[in-house]
Each structure stands twice: as structure tokens, then as C-alpha cells.
Structure 1
């Protein structure tokens, strides 16, 4: 074989080897990219789930505080009109008509979270039916000085009165759960009255610039059922109880 032929064959072999190495590198880069994308997607999924679990834990904590407050004071907390963490009281009393606002973190012994993560809170109030749950009222005939004057037993009576009221969108209420309770639609599917509800916002999933996701809105007495699943357009976490549920809890925990 001539030297020239040997050189041509060597160059061809080197070219083939170089081309094969380029393909290998390309495949490796593609595989690495796919693995990075999968890892990042998995991280996003895990992070979102962790945020939801934290939201659920916070909602449960706020519910426990509402219960403890009602057991001690014979009324439910008054909503905060400002996001400062305090109940909005006038001369020590929750003013008539104040049934929707911010959760009063500081009044219930908690630190105030950052603005975007503060919960909305609503409480059922109907003075005409002796069911104003945000005001301590003597409903059992006790007098000042009695051990049970203005205590949780009076709130239980108020809750029982509230349980007898027909469902109305003019009072604190819940819509469906996208399951047995029907659509999550405050206007088309009002389902049941609530003694109170707490909505803990997480991410702005519906893209409206507000962490509260539909059906929740700043001026609405409606919340989704606590059993509603997390949805693509909403990750708000809800804690709520009907008047009968809260009355049962109070009876079981009276001192």
C-alpha cells in the first residue's frame, strides 16, 4: 500500500472517530438537559406541595385559635378592618356590620405574617335572630357575678340559633367542593352557612395580581368548602365550621 493511500485511510478513520465523538457529546448533552428539566420540574412540584402543606398547617392552627378564643370569651373573634393583626373593636365591642376582614393574629396571640400571606376571615352575625357570634351576649338567663355569665354556654345558644337560620348569601357561607357538594361557585352554588371561615392564601394561581384565588375575593362573604381540592387556578386553603359543628366542639370542651 502506498504512503499516500495510508494517509487517506488514516484521515478517514480520524474523521469517523471525530464524528462519532460529536454524536456522543450531543446525546450526552440532550440527556443531561432532560435530566435537569426533570429535576427542576420535580423540585417545583415538591416545593408547591410543601407550600400547600404549610398552608394547611397554618389554617388548622388558626382554627384552633378561633375555637380556644370562643371557649374563653363566649364569642368569636371580630374581623380586623385593617391588616394590622388586631380585632376591630369599638369601645370593646365588634361593631354591627363588621363580619368580613383580616384575621386578627395579634389579638389571638400570634405574630403578624407578611402582608401577602395574611388570612381573610369572616364570622356569621345576625343580631335579629340572637345569633351575632362576634358579640358576647347573655342568652341563658345568668346575671353578673354568676360563674357562667357571658360564657361559652351563651355562645352555644347563639350557635344553635344560627343553625336554625336558612342559608343566605348576606351571611357568612360556603360554596361547593367540586364534588358531592357541587361546583365551587359562590353565585351559582351557595351551599351552607358557616359560623366562620378562614382563607389562607398561598400563590396567585389565577393570575389576577392578588394572592386570593377564585372564588375568594376581598369583599365576599363566601369561601370554598374546606374539602375542595387544590386546583390549577387556586391553592387557597380554607378552614371553616358550621354553627352546629362549633357548638358540638364547645360542648365537648366546656370546663
Structure 2
């Protein structure tokens, strides 16, 4: 007598709910992976920009030590100081070639501003120091120009940043409580606010500084979801102190 076979069980498929749950989990994992990658990429870009700024700052100090002035900005993007250094030219691209530095791709170039005010001091032009005036540091009239800047009233007509707390978050430039340093450097990281071009991906008020504006965000402004530029400002007293120390 034959024993009846048990009916074969067909493999149970996944329900629509199960598929939806799995798809959702995979989607979340993908988003997390992309976000983590973006965070690593942004941190890497910020570290690179910070290193470039430190190199540029030291190169500017060395230039000032050799030439007793700061370089004129590069107004065309070829890496060299503007020919003749027009007196009205106060901001432009960092003159990489004039500083002996390799120029990066356009989207990573540093914006540079230098204090130039014929009524106070023009730091981009050499000033002759009379022989009857002691010059123990060998800095010529450049030290005198830096001292004049340190005592001069702040002016929004020259490269500046605001000291006000609102400038740490504002997207606009502040015209009160400002400081005029000897020079300014602004490095872009990523165009987080989507306001710049690929050749000048600056955020917030720094976008205007890539044009004719004399204002930048204050140094030390924290990064946000819409801002990650890095600003370095060297005061006249700080620069003069470094130069005197370097000549001892």
C-alpha cells in the first residue's frame, strides 16, 4: 500500500510591506553613506584651504621683509602683481607667481586685499626713509607706514571686516565697528550658499570681495550649512612685530 505524499510547500515570497521596509532601510543607508562622504570631502577641502592660507601668509611676510612693502593684488588672474599697481587697486587675486607660489585651479584661488590709502599709508608701494631718521630694523619707510595704519581711524573704503557679533552670521557686510588690517586673505572651500561661480565659490559677504566690495566676513566666523570660507587678517602691529623680530 502506497503512503500518500505530503503536498510540496511552495517557497513563500516577500510581501509588499517587507519589500517596502527593506527598500527604505537601503535608502537610509545610501543617504548616510553619501552624507558621510560629503562630510569627509568638506573636511579635506577645509584642511587644504587652511594649509594654503598659512603658506600664503608666510609668503606675504617674506615678500614684505625682502621688498619693504606688500605686493599689489593680481587683478586679471595671471598670478602676477598688477603692472604699475594702480593706486585704486586694493583687492584682487593673490599674486602667486610674484610670491613664488604655484597657482591653484581657479576654484581654489585665494582672494587678497591690501591696505592702500594715500592719506594714511600705501602698503603696496615702497616708501623712502630719509637718512636722517634712524632705521635700526632696516625696514625703511614700511615700518612707519604700518605704524600710521595702526593709529588711523577705520575706514570702510579700505579692505575691512566687522567686529560686531552680528557679522558672525549675517550674509551682508557690516559698516560699523570695523577693522582695517594690513592685508586680508579669503580662501573658498565649497560654494555652500550657491551664490558664486565655479571660478569664485565664495559664500556670504566674501562673494562681494571677489568683485569690488572692500568687506569680508570676520576671521574666525564658524562654518554653517551655508558658509565655510576661511578668512585670515594680519593687523599692522602684528606684521610690524614679526618683521622687526625677523630682522634681529
Change (3 A) 1:72 1:154: same
Match of 1:113 among 79, 104, 115: 104
| TM-score, with length taken from structure 2 | 0.84
Aligned to 1:167: 154
Asked if 1:208 is matched to 2:195, the reply is yes
Instruction: Give, in angstroms, the shift of residue 76 of structure 1.
Output: 0.6
- Give 1 or 2 for the bigger CA radius of gyration: 1
Judge conservation of contact 1:183–1:189 (CA < 8 Å) in 2: no
Q: Do residues 104 (structure 1) and 98 (structure 2) align?
A: no
Deviation at 1:42, TM superposition (A): 0.8
Question: What do you get for the CA RMSD once the two structures are aligned?
Answer: 3.0
Per-residue CA deviation, residues 18-65 of structure 1 (Å, 9 max, x unaligned), is 146987776555444433322221111111111011111111111111
When you count helix as a share of all residues, which structure comes out higher? 1
Match of residue 139 from structure 2: 152
User: Residue 75 of structure 2 aligns to a residue in which SS?
Assistant: coil
Scaled by the length of structure 1, the TM-score of the pair is 0.82
> Which of the numbers 233, 242, 246 marks the counterpart of 1:249?
242
- The residue aligned with 2:37 is 43
Change (3 A) 1:149 1:85: farther
**Could you list the per-position Cα deviations for residues 88-115 of structure 1 after superposition, in whole angstroms to 9, with x for gaps in the alignment?**
132xxx3211111111000100122212
Task: Look up the SS of the partner of 1:57 in the other structure.
Answer: helix
Pair 1:239 & 2:232 matched: yes
Could you tell me how far 1:175 is from its partner in structure 2? 2.1
Secondary structure at the aligned position of 1:87 is classed as: coil
Change (3 A) 1:182 1:47: closer
Structure 2: distance between partners of 1:83 and 1:48: 25
Does 2:95 correspond to 1:70? no
Segments of 5+ residues of structure 1 without an aligned counterpart are none
Q: Does 1:125 align with 2:116?
A: yes
In the alignment, which residue of structure 2 is the partner of 1:80?
Answer: 74
Range moving further from structure 2, 68-77 or 36-45: 36-45
Residues in 1 aligned to 2:48 and 2:219: alpha-carbon distance in whole angstroms? 15
- CA deviations 1:144-176 (Å, max 9, x no partner) are xx9x69952431211110011111101121124
CA contact (8 A) 2:155 2:178 kept: no
Aligned residues: 239
What is the rounded CA distance, in whole Å, between the counterparts of 2:142 and 2:43 in structure 1? 37
Partner of 2:131: 142
Q: What is the alpha-carbon distance in structure 1 between the residues aligned to residue 113 and residue 177 of structure 2?
A: 15
